[in-house]
Amino acid sequence: MHGLLILSQYADEYLRLIRAANPPGLSIMATSAPEEGVTFGPDCDIVLGEPSLVSRVLHRLPDLCWVQSIWAGVEPLLDPGLRRDYVLTNARGVFGELMSEYVFAYLLAHERRIFPRHAAQAVCQWDDTPTGTLRGKKIGLMGVGSIGACLARTARYFGMTVRGYTRASETCADVDAYYHGTGLMAFVSDLDYLVSVLPNTADTRCIVDAALLAALPPRAVFVNVGRGSGVDEAALAKALQTGRIAGAVLDVFQEEPLPPGHFLWHTPNVLITSHTAAPSVPEDIVRIFLENYQRLLQGEALRFRVDFERGY
Amino acid sequence: MHGLLILSQYADEYLRLIRAANPPGLSIMATSAPEEGVTFGPDCDIVLGEPSLVSRVLHRLPDLCWVQSIWAGVEPLLDPGLRRDYVLTNARGVFGELMSEYVFAYLLAHERRIFPRHAAQAVCQWDDTPTGTLRGKKIGLMGVGSIGACLARTARYFGMTVRGYTRASETCADVDAYYHGTGLMAFVSDLDYLVSVLPNTADTRCIVDAALLAALPPRAVFVNVGRGSGVDEAALAKALQTGRIAGAVLDVFQEEPLPPGHFLWHTPNVLITSHTAAPSVPEDIVRIFLENYQRLLQGEALRFRVDFERGY
């Protein structure tokens, strides 16, 4: 018998979906606000939840053996002060299509001049400024895991040239050219669009800095759907204020929610989307959980295990 | 020996491209503003041009045998008062990819709440309202020629269900279900997106009327990249003002440019794009012209011939 604790702002929805699947030998409790002081019984050995909530109860789960994260990013669980004596798995392979819709919504909006045309409409101006096209443009993907591969496929669909920057892997057939390590400046040169899908790790912290931004052409637009820690936000604001690059679409930030007085809210040519690019869909996450639970019962290795040292 | 007259606001560009191809036995003259009173010599038997300019000189071309339109739409040449004793061909097969970028730019902008999120940003508001997705949504295409087929393919790429409304043809494999004739109301029922790619013909005039708009669900968005004549604009404005449908994206209008005082400029939830969805790219049009000229020399039937009665 296993005991599952669901910790999520959507606890009721997760509970409903998992109950409907009726997994064998599993007792379930669910909450969206784990109260201080409550001790979870020794029968609770599995947690499915949002890392920000899970981190607060880690010390109160004596028999914990496995945490399935609802998110891709597990930063709250990587704090060196927290225990690591359990298997941590995250959500993967379910965000690519939503990310692809997000990224190409904003790339097409840029080419199609959606905002300038809307401004022209407000003053009844027939604005037939020629439109741009994605066809033939160059996109650079920082990170080509399952999300990056989805972006590469959509970029190819729209006739773009695709570059990938990775630690070492070269597994995606939709990438035209791969770059690694010190090839970063060559990777970004002459790009129309730079898209970061990088997780938060020691290697990626502020990888988008003044030097990298200076290596982009002035027409370039930067899109961040990875983690806010990957960007030197002051350097990015300066690059936008001086016209060094054409624009930025930011879904993630060093601090979230972005504080009301933060300079990025009003930096020219920035579009802010408040970490909405690819929400976790409970149906997708429950599918991952149930498959991993099945593996647990059969003594198999769980899928999407996080390496605490690497950070993803 | 044949004589070609180029009539276009981009006459110089067309002249340069055709000269570079050096087609055999062809003398060329080009102008962007055919002056009144000038008579074109008997050696001028071919015209490549914008229909609005061509219609003004039709009566001054005694030896005209062929007009290649630079546009897809040839309305200015269909006036019953104008001669029809020549072969008229239009541009086809070159607008699909641009139209696809246009339509999906606006569909994704709608799902992704690009405008509301931008408004939230202006007041420093962290707007994490959940995002929509194209996956699983239903799109209805009025007209499934080469442009409609391109739209169907992209809709499928994004996981949408695709319906097609045509006179009779059912040739596109990316359409899930076809409708014809009186099936129009069944075609639009429960659609998320209705996209018109219809040409201007007697059959399509005001096909999007109050009855059709009333048959759409309130969440539906209408996109018109066909011809403005296909829409009862007063009925459309009323449907938007009363929330009968959720929005409209309009590239074409009964009168273009849309007059400054026109009600559509300020109708709620209308986006106006000033006939920029799929501009004619000279390289594409010249490719069509040169292939047809080759056919003319070899006595073959020209491609993309317009039926004056049918109107396309």
The active-site residue, picked from B275, B287, B295, B303, is B275
Are B247 and B210 found together in one domain?
A: yes
DSSP per residue over chain B, as a string? Answer: -EEEEEESTTHHHHHHHHHHH--TTEEEEEESS--TTPPPPTT--EEEE-HHHHHHHGGG-TT--EEEESSS--GGG--TTS---SEEE---SSSHHHHHHHHHHHHHHHHTTHHHHHHHHHTT----PPP--STT-EEEEE--SHHHHHHHHHHHHTT-EEEEE-SS----TT-SEEE-GGGHHHHHTT-SEEEE---S-TTTTT-B-HHHHHHS-TT-EEEE-S-GGGB-HHHHHHHHHTTSSSEEEES--SSSSPPTT-GGGGSTTEEE-TT-SSPPPHHHHHHHHHHHHHHHHTTPPPTTB--TTTT-
Measure Cα distances from B159 to A30, A57, A98, A167, B155 in Å: 33, 39, 11, 31, 6
Residue B200: the pLDDT is: 86
Q: Does a structural domain hold residue B186?
A: yes
For an interface test with A, give the residue of B10, B113, B124 to mutate (most A CBs within 10 A).
B124
Same domain, A140 and A243: yes
Question: Quick one: pLDDT band at residue B311, thresholds 50, 70, 90?
Answer: confident
Contact A274 B106 (CB under 8 A): no
Based on the fold, state whether residues B202 and B136 are members of the same structural domain: yes
CATH of the domain at B132: 3.40.50.720
How high is the pLDDT of residue B69? 98
B257–chain A nearest CA distance, Å: 6
Q: Best interface-test mutation with B: which of A121, A123, A129, A150 has the largest number of B CBs within 10 A?
A: A121
B254, pLDDT greater than 70: yes
Q: Is B287 tagged catalytic?
A: no
| Structure tokens that stand for B25 in this block | 């036995």
Could you tell me which of B171, B133, B168, B129 has the C-alpha nearest to residue B152?
B171
Task: Tell me the average pLDDT across A65-83.
Answer: 94
Residue B48 in this model has a pLDDT that exceeds 70 = yes
Same domain, A149 and A262: yes
**Residue B113 included in any domain:** yes
Q: What average pLDDT does range B68-90 have in this prediction? A: 95
| pLDDT at residue B37 tops 70 | no
- CA–CA separation, A8 and A49 (whole Å): 5
Is B276 close to A128, i.e. CB distance below 8 A? yes
Q: Which residues of A touch B263 (CB under 8 A)?
A: none
Q: What pLDDT score was predicted for residue A219? A: 98
Does residue A202 belong to any structural domain of this protein? yes
Please determine, for residue A187, whether its predicted confidence score (pLDDT) is greater than 90: yes
Confidence of residue B270 (pLDDT cuts 50, 70, 90): very high
Please give the Cα distance from B241 to B237 (Å, whole number): 6
Range ranked top by mean pLDDT from B31-35, B37-41, B269-273? B269-273
Residue B6 pLDDT > 80, yes or no? Answer: yes
Residues B150 and B250 grouped into a single domain: yes
* Closest-approach residue (CA) in chain A for B271: A118
Tell me what pLDDT residue B56 has. 92
Is the predicted pLDDT of residue A271 greater than 80, yes or no?
yes
pLDDT score at B249: 98
Asked whether residue B81 falls in the same domain as residue B103, the answer is no
**Pair (B181, B261) in one structural domain:** yes
Is the pLDDT reported for residue B36 higher than 70? Answer: no
Q: Is the pLDDT of residue A41 over 80?
A: no
**Domain assignment present for B302:** no
> What's the whole-number average pLDDT of chain A?
95
B307 belongs to a structural domain = no
Higher pLDDT among residues A38 and B266, named by residue? B266
Tell me how close the Cα of A31 comes to any Cα of chain B, in angstroms. 21
Looking at the structure, tell me whether residues B125 and B193 fall in a common domain: yes
Please state whether A64 falls in left (phi above 0), alpha (psi between -120 and 50) or beta: beta
Same-domain check for residues B35 and B164: no
Nearest CA in chain A to B125: A260
What residues of A are labeled active site?
227, 275
Q: How near does any CA of chain A get to the CA of B166, in Å? A: 26
Q: Is the pLDDT of residue B42 over 80?
A: no
- Please answer whether residues B272 and B106 qualify as being in contact, where contact means their C-beta atoms are separated by less than 8 angstroms: no
In a domain, A309, yes or no: no
Whether the per-residue pLDDT at B100 is higher than 80: the answer is yes
The ipTM is 0.91
Q: Which residues of B touch A130 (CB under 8 A)?
A: 276, 279
Task: Note whether B97 contacts A133, CB cutoff 8 Å.
Answer: yes
Q: Which residues of A touch B98 (CB under 8 A)?
A: 131, 133
Testing the interface with A: which of B273, B280, B281 to mutate, by most A Cβ within 10 A? B273
pLDDT in tens, B174-233: 999 999 999 999 999 999 999 999 988 888 899 999 999 999 999 999 999 999 999 999
- Asked if pLDDT for residue B39 goes beyond 70, the answer is no
pLDDT at A209 over 90: yes
Name which residue leads in pLDDT, B203 or B36. Answer: B203
Residue A43's pLDDT band, with cuts at 50, 70 and 90, is confident
> What mean pLDDT is predicted for residues A260-272?
97
pLDDT at res. A262 = 98
pLDDT > 90 fraction of chain B, expressed in percent and rounded: 91
Lowest mean pLDDT among A21-35, A183-197, A268-282, B158-172: A21-35
Beta bridge partners, A161, equal A138
> Does B167 reside within a domain?
yes
Judgement on whether residues B22 and B102 belong to the same structural domain of the protein: no
Q: Are residues A74 and A134 in the same domain?
A: no
Looking at the partner chain, which of A109, A127, A256 has a beta carbon nearest the beta carbon of B114?
Answer: A109
Give the confidence band of A126 by pLDDT, cuts at 50, 70, 90: very high
Q: Two tokens at B121?
A: 């940003």
Determine, yes or no, domain membership for B13: yes
Look at residue B202 in the predicted model and tell me its pLDDT. Answer: 85
Same domain, A108 and A195: yes
Range of the domain at A54: 2-93+280-297
Inter-chain CB proximity B114 and A104 less than 8 Å: no
pLDDT at A110: 98
Residues of B in contact with A273 (CB under 8 A): 112, 117
Q: How far is CA A38 from CA A3, A82, A205, in A?
A: 16, 19, 37
Backbone angles phi, psi at B184, to 5 degrees: -60, -45
Give how many domains chain B has, as a whole number: 2
Identify the pLDDT of residue A44.
92
The mean pLDDT value for A108-124 works out to: 98
The whole-number pLDDT of residue B149 equals 97
Q: Is the pTM of this model over 0.80?
A: yes
Beta bridge partners of A250: A224, A272
Please state whether the peptide bond connecting residue B257 to the residue before it is cis, i.e. omega within 30 degrees of 0.
yes
Average pLDDT, chain B: 95
